[in-house]
Amino acid sequence: MNTALFAFLALAASLLAPAVAEAHCPLCTGAIGVAAVSAKYFGVDSSIIGLMIGAFGVSTGLWAGKWLKKEYFAHQGKALVFASFALTVIPLSSLNTGEIYVPVMLLGEPGSLLNRVYWFDKLLLGALLGGVTSLAAYWLHLRVKSLHGKVIVPFQGVVFTLALLALASAALFLAFR
């Protein structure tokens, strides 16, 4: 009986013990995924949902790139990030509920490049911004880590990613309200 209890406690402790933290680990990726899914249920604008979806796709690709220890082909990490982004955003594009119309009436004949109305998919626009934001957070994490020689804040990659996504979400909220 005591052996079974000891084995159970040892297993529980090993599952709860923190492993070596990696930038854009599963925790960060999971946090972004939960934010994207829950946003739809709370009636959040589709551009902000796209922001979370794009960040989730890029974070998943970065995490998968760190997980693979061997490089099987040139630019494998970049290909994984791009594939993960595309395979996340394209299937979820059906969540889109809005468009943005931007009239550009600068000069030229109607219908020319600088005299027409442009249409943007809000979810795709948000996804592109989310992907760029996630990459910026990853770069910021690596930069701070290289300057100080260590991580200065616990869960630094998660903190930077969620903070930049919160700022980008606020900007989209103010832009499209």
Mean pLDDT of the chain: 81
C-beta separation of 50 from 122 below 8 A: yes
The contacts of residue 165 (CB under 8 Å, 6+ apart) are: 32, 35, 51, 52, 55, 130, 133, 134, 137
52 lies in some domain: yes
The contacts of residue 38 (CB under 8 Å, 6+ apart) are: none
36 lies in some domain: yes
Beta-bridge mates of residue 117: 103
102 lies in some domain: no
Check whether 14 has a pLDDT greater than 50. no
- Could you tell me the pLDDT band of residue 1, with boundaries at 50, 70 and 90? very low
103 lies in some domain: no
- Could you tell me the pLDDT band of residue 16, with boundaries at 50, 70 and 90? low
Question: What's the structural domain count of the chain?
Answer: 1
9 lies in some domain: no
141 lies in some domain: yes
C-beta separation of 99 from 121 below 8 A: yes
Question: CA distances (Å), 166 to each of 52, 82, 121, 156, 171, in order?
Answer: 10, 23, 21, 15, 9
12 lies in some domain: no
pLDDT given for residue 22 in this prediction: 45
pLDDT given for residue 23 in this prediction: 44
pLDDT given for residue 19 in this prediction: 45
Q: What is the pLDDT of residues 140-160, one digit of tens each?
A: 999 999 999 888 888 888 899
Which structural domain range is residue 140 located in?
Answer: 23-96+127-176
115 lies in some domain: no
8 versus 45: the higher-pLDDT residue is 45
